[in-house]
Copies of this chain bind each other. A is one copy, B any other.
């Protein structure tokens, strides 16, 4: 897989992801940031290939590479059970039920990191996996945020409930979050951009949660909804600990 973007490469290096080769734009006017990055990569004895802008567009299949790309074996997904064992506090989990758009997924990862989400669960089929575009939009935070793939989200919900996690589906007709107790172990399910959370998952959940609105609207973008709710959960958890 080819990953690209300055923050993505930096976070990959921080996370000790093995880069088998780095491609950098061949320019005499590299920024200070890029020069430092180049030195750091050379220091790690990773091969750097200098290419022109067009070649880099072709290598990364994007124009968003910011002058740098790298070859990695694959994105390392995490294991739900392992993470749950490792967490020593009430977990805060996001479940994405078939989010399709890589930009939405990337933005969700970034907000999840900032709001203290412990890990994200995505389904094996029907949703966007971690692609180079997802990594780029996440500003590299996908390398810091554990992402788990599960075959059967309904079963995952059941298992989380058995472990005492409260699971809520984010829908338009749920209970406004300001009327709910968001402290303790919690998982929020967000649905597909078009048709939301699947009925089966809503039924398996402990309840439905909504964003209170000042005016009637069809819906908010899923990445915006996640950000609003995740930071609200963070606030509730903080007030519980203080």
Contact = CB atoms under 8 A, between A and B. Distances in A.
Interface of A: 7, 107, 110-111, 113-116, 139, 141, 178, 211-215, 217-218, 220-221, 223-224, 227-228, 231-232, 234-235, 238-239
B212 A234 contact: yes
A221 to B, nearest CB: 6
Given A107-B221, A224-B224, A114 B213 contact: yes
A107 B214 CA distance: 16
B214 A116 contact: yes
Given A178-B235, A211-B231, A235-B212, A224 B116 contact: no
A70 to B, nearest CB: 20
Contact of A217 (B114, B211, B231, B239): B114
B110 A221 contact: yes
A132 B110 CA distance: 28
Given A212-B235, A214-B234, A231-B211, A224 B107 contact: yes
16 contacts: A7-B218, A110-B220, A110-B221, A111-B220, A113-B217, A114-B215, A114-B220, A116-B214, A139-B218, A212-B234, A212-B235, A212-B238, A223-B224, A227-B228, A228-B231, A232-B232
Contact of A215 (B116, B224, B231): B116
